[in-house]
């Protein structure tokens, strides 16, 4: 059996031909747990799949990664399909993966959490990106299966509340391998073909986690995030949470709830605006009544009566003031007259003419001065006696002075 020695590369080349021409190894599905997951900067992914006894290196090219329906994570069990490839230079072989499936609640939940964490980290769930759902839409687009229960419920609820808003049902797959791509494309299409749409409802009725999975795929999340039109996500029942719910502008617990959110109740709105109008009318009426009352209390008669009162009062006031003023002035005048009279009688008493009337004369010395004393006179002096009706020139014969200074008039002449 022994053949002559071959080179290493020849051996590896031979093994490669054997491996790669084997029909089973050219298309194989392998179950195992993911470990050592590494995302290379080129976009390719390297990881190991293992079970309790063994492991195999795996390679996932970036072009297949794009279409993957599940976010890979260490520790989850996957079913990888692909082919065995031998790397000649290293003498190693690997499973080149084309597609990956994830089964079982635990594994799906792990993949879900991984994607949720990733998108959350990128900010796709941030509140600041959430667009408000238009309050009064003219057009609602419903992206869902046209045969499902969800579309029937949504149309029924919208019609029962609102007979104004247009409804556009944009049919798409909601489960299975192609569903996510179809949903994503439908969201893009509605944005492109019907930009006048106010609100998009995307969703489906209840189902298992596998059935709802399309709404947990990255491609759907990204198209919801990119939508210019606000999106309400309505997937399954209220206990079901999907990635779509987190990235959508609004999560509805059910398709029915989405319809209620998207379309306002027209009869309630009518009642509301009636109420507002009634309140307008009511307030206006009250205001007018109040104004009327004020006008009535200010009519001309009332005004003239009040004016007359005020005139009368002013006149009385003026009169009293005038009286007061007159009294004060009279008093002042009398006072002045008294003072004048007193001054006059004072002056009269001092008038020398009055004394002369009574027979007295004023004696002036030679210089014409009145000295009032005999002291300045000598015998032979000339003097003048001034009387009431004239004066006489006199000469002194004798001077007799009183011991006590008193003069006897008789002796003086």
Partner 1 sequence: MAKQEKKMSFEEALAGLERSAEVLKKDGTTLEEAMQCFDKGVEYYKYCNEILSDAKQKIEFYDKKEA
Binding footprint of partner 1 on the chain (CB under 8 A): 134-136, 146, 155, 159, 162-171, 193, 266, 269-270, 273, 276-277, 279-280, 283-284, 287, 291
Please check whether residue 79 is in contact with residue 30, taking contact to mean a CB–CB distance below 8 angstroms. yes
Least separation in angstroms between residue 288's CB and partner 1 is 8
DSSP states along 18-55: HHHH-TTTTSEEEEEEEEEEEE-TTS-EEEEEE-SS-E
Least separation in angstroms between residue 273's CB and partner 1 is 5
Report the C-alpha gap between 45 and 396 in whole angstroms: 168
Q: In the numeric block, which tokens belong to residue 307? A: 């004016």
Report the C-alpha gap between 322 and 242 in whole angstroms: 99
Q: Which of 186, 180, 222 is nearest to 201 (CA)?
A: 186
Nearer to partner 1, 2 or 268 (CB): 268
Nearer to partner 1, 56 or 169 (CB): 169
Nearer to partner 1, 171 or 207 (CB): 171
Please check whether residue 234 is in contact with residue 258, taking contact to mean a CB–CB distance below 8 angstroms. yes
| 362-364 β-sheet, strand order | 362-364, 382-387, 390-395
Least separation in angstroms between residue 147's CB and partner 1 is 11
Least separation in angstroms between residue 127's CB and partner 1 is 22
Nearer to partner 1, 114 or 161 (CB): 161
Least separation in angstroms between residue 300's CB and partner 1 is 20
Least separation in angstroms between residue 331's CB and partner 1 is 56
Least separation in angstroms between residue 69's CB and partner 1 is 22
Least separation in angstroms between residue 264's CB and partner 1 is 9
- Helix, strand, or coil (residue 372): coil
Nearer to partner 1, 277 or 309 (CB): 277
User: Residue 184 burial (CB < 10 Å; 0-12/13-18/19+)?
Assistant: buried
Report the C-alpha gap between 351 and 337 in whole angstroms: 21
Report the C-alpha gap between 329 and 30 in whole angstroms: 132
Nearer to partner 1, 266 or 399 (CB): 266
Q: Which of 42, 81, 47 is nearest to 62 (CA)?
A: 42
Nearer to partner 1, 163 or 371 (CB): 163
Report the C-alpha gap between 173 and 145 in whole angstroms: 6
Q: In the numeric block, which tokens belong to residue 323? A: 């009286």
Nearer to partner 1, 11 or 284 (CB): 284
b/e 373-388 (16+ beta carbons within 10 angstroms → b): ebeebeeeeebbbbee
Least separation in angstroms between residue 232's CB and partner 1 is 18
Nearer to partner 1, 238 or 292 (CB): 292
Find the largest Cα–Cα distance for the chain: 211
């Amino acid at each position: 059996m022994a053949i002559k020695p071959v080179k290493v590369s020849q051996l590896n080349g031979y093994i490669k031909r054997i491996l790669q021409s084997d029909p089973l190894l050219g298309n194989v599905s392998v179950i195992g747990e993911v470990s050592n997951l590494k995302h290379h900067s080129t976009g390719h992914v390297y990881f190991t799949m293992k079970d309790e006894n063994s492991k195999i290196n795996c390679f996932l090219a970036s072009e297949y990664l794009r279409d993957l329906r599940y976010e890979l994570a260490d520790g989850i069990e996957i079913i990888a399909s692909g082919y065995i490839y031998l790397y000649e230079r290293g003498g190693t072989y690997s499973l080149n993966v084309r597609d990956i499936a994830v089964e079982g609640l635990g594994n799906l939940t792990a993949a879900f959490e991984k994607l949720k964490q990733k998108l959350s980290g990128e900010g796709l769930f941030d509140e600041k990106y959430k667009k408000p759902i238009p309050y009064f839409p003219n057009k609602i687009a419903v992206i869902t299966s046209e045969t499902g229960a969800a579309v029937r419920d949504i149309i029924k609820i919208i019609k029962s509340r609102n007979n104004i808003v247009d409804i556009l049902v944009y049919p798409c797959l909601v489960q299975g391998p192609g569903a996510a791509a179809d949903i994503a494309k439908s969201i893009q299409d509605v944005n492109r073909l019907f930009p006048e749409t106010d609100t998009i409802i995307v969703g489906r009725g209840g189902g298992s986690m596998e059935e709802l999975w399309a709404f947990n795929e990255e491609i759907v999340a990204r198209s919801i995030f990119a939508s210019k039109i606000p999106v309400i996500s309505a997937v399954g029942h209220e206990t079901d949470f999907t990635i779509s719910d987190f990235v959508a502008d609004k999560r509805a617990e059910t398709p029915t709830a989405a319809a209620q959110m998207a379309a306002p109740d027209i009869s309630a709105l009518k009642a509301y605006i009636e109420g507002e109008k009634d309140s307008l009318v009511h307030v206006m009426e009250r205001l007018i009544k109040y104004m009327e009352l004020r006008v009535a209390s200010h009519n001309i008669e009332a005004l003239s009566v009040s004016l007359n009162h005020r005139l009368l009062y002013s006149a009385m006031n003026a009169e009293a003031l005038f009286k007061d003023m007159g009294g004060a002035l009279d008093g002042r005048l009398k006072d002045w007259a008294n003072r004048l009279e007193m001054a006059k009688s004072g002056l009269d008493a001092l008038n020398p003419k009055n004394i002369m009337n009574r027979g007295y004369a004023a004696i002036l010395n030679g210089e014409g001065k009145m000295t009032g004393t005999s002291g300045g006179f000598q015998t032979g002096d000339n003097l003048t006696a001034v009387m009431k009706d004239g004066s006489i020139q006199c000469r002194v014969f004798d001077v007799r002075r009183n011991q006590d200074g008193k003069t006897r008039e008789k002796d003086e002449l």
